[in-house]
Structure 1
């Protein structure tokens, strides 16, 4: 009887140890595991060493879809990866608003934030994310013309991310980025686009050339205007200085006449100064030919010189 009791206790101990060993679950860092008890959700265990009750508790696996060389691979995993995952789904045919068939290659970055929602929110989480991304992409592309797709790629990415975030909330998933990686168009459309781009470059070159010519002409006109202003300003100053000099000369002559007691008309003084200018210019005029023709008015100016000299001589006498 004692041996039977000892054997029973030993069996119970061994069973207990086995249950403990089988109930120990190690979860890696940045992973989680959903535990069901008797078919119902019980708890989510985090990274580290955890203890569950064998037979009563069991893990709920998650279905994962992967693509390798454009081949779909479906497998189940009992540990849920909480790291950011890259979903590179294959190309799909999309029709644009202007009825051009293009192939769009996209990539999606998502991260499971709530393991429980990821398990129970969708039968196949990754397939649901991929399908929603593809249908949303077809919807966005179908509302745009081909040229708009290339110009608005970032806007398409932003709208796709907003759509994926709205659906991802109930799946416990955060969609970090959705990007269009490649847009493949038919050869005839590509050739037409290349010709269009070449024409656009030529047009821009002509516009730049015209703008450059316009700027050059504007600068030239402004330079000519500035030169005319400077020239006019110089002539103005020259005339002012010349007038000032003539004024001083007249005043000197009048002052000399007052000192000698002579009475001189200022007009005669002006004629006298002008006549002096004629006399100074005569040698240069004579160099231009054998004959020199002087204006008729020069004789009266010469007379002014004689008049001034006569007045000064009379005053001195």
Structure 2
């Protein structure tokens, strides 16, 4: 009897232990942003999401995913491949080594790139491709060569964002079959041959020199325009001054003629005498300028009449009443000359 009870207790203990093991094995806790692909008897069953999940022990098994990652050791990328049962659903950065790419102008450049992707369908990443990370890396390299191979070197440097967008677009359709979403692609570094880099440096120096020459020429042009405008405004002001001076001189002569005629009497003979006197004065003032231009001076026939009129005014200086008229006429002429000065 006691043996029967002992055997029953042992059996109960074994059953309890098995039940506990089944319960422990049947509960799977998945962390946030992780997923587990489960198989039942070798076939796909379901994807375990974050939280507590119940499975059938020894029948349901997780299907591992093969991942290849690079580890930088002493400036070199060393690939490391391993199998993981927990699939990371967060955004992953793939920093693969630099790749040689030939542009359309036959320049070989070394391009280092970074790829940002997210696993959106874990079952496709496990069953549709053998090594998901390696496949994505190979796809990124081939897309990089395809896009950059259609561009010239200058355009490659000038439109990196366009190159990134083209590579991302080329990768989206193939990667979607593997349950991968390509978030973005970045070209980190572009290395050129030394001779090409030197040629580009000389080209940049020549371009800066050209810009400096153009800027200097534009400055000289602006200075010449400003100087010409200043000379033009100065000429206009001088012309306006001469005009006002001539007007004042003419007004002075007109007033002096009126005073003389009032003193002598407003007769035709007196008008002719006054006009002759003024013409004589003008002729005498012009003689020095005529002498500067040549060795000979031509005296017109009418000059005798003009000089006679001036002689008559000298005779008038002896008469007190006529002296006033002569002074008025002389003062009007001198006043006009002063206005001109």
Q: Which category describes the TM-score, using the shorter chain as reference length?
A: 0.7 to 0.9
8 Å CA contact retained: 1:86, 1:110 = yes
3-state SS, counterpart of residue 58 of structure 2: coil
Q: CA deviation at 1:74?
A: 0.8
Q: 1:212 matched to which residue of 2?
A: 215
8 Å CA contact retained: 2:34, 2:88 = yes
8 Å CA contact retained: 1:62, 1:80 = yes
Q: CA deviation at 1:222?
A: 0.7
State how far apart, in whole Å, the 1-side matches of 2:272 and 2:181 are: 103
- Change beyond 3 A, Cα 1:223–1:101: closer
Give the root-mean-square deviation of aligned CA atoms. 4.1
Gaps of 5+ in 1: 280-284, 286-293
Among 285, 310, 313, the residue aligned to 2:321 = 313
Residue 123 in 1 paired to residue 130 in 2? yes
Residue 137 in 1 paired to residue 141 in 2? no
3-state SS, counterpart of residue 265 of structure 2: coil
Q: 2:253 matched to which residue of 1?
A: 250
State how far apart, in whole Å, the 1-side matches of 2:215 and 2:312 are: 66
Residue 167 in 1 paired to residue 174 in 2? yes
Q: CA deviation at 1:262?
A: 2.7
Q: Which entry has the higher C-alpha Rg, 1 or 2?
A: 2
The alignment's TM-score, normalised by the length of structure 1, stands at 0.76
State how far apart, in whole Å, the 2-side matches of 1:58 and 1:274 are: 134
Among 189, 195, 198, the residue aligned to 1:191 = 195
Among 30, 45, 48, the residue aligned to 1:45 = 48
8 Å CA contact retained: 1:61, 1:78 = yes
- How many residues of Structure 1 are paired with residues of Structure 2 in the alignment? 302
1:42-81 paired onto structure 2 within 5 Å: 42-69=45-72, 70-81=77-88
Q: 1:291 matched to which residue of 2?
A: none
State how far apart, in whole Å, the 2-side matches of 1:130 and 1:41 are: 26
- Change beyond 3 A, Cα 1:35–1:266: farther
Q: 2:39 matched to which residue of 1?
A: 36
State how far apart, in whole Å, the 2-side matches of 1:87 and 1:102 are: 20
Residue 25 in 1 paired to residue 33 in 2? no
User: Which piece of structure 1 moves more, 117-126 or 35-44?
Assistant: 35-44
The alignment's TM-score, normalised by the length of structure 2, stands at 0.71
Q: 2:162 matched to which residue of 1?
A: 155
Q: 2:184 matched to which residue of 1?
A: 177
Q: CA deviation at 1:214?
A: 2.0
Gaps of 5+ in 2: 289-296, 326-341
- Change beyond 3 A, Cα 1:125–1:273: farther
3-state SS, counterpart of residue 76 of structure 1: strand
Among 109, 120, 124, the residue aligned to 2:116 = 109
8 Å CA contact retained: 2:276, 2:309 = no
8 Å CA contact retained: 1:106, 1:178 = yes
State how far apart, in whole Å, the 2-side matches of 1:316 and 1:96 are: 104
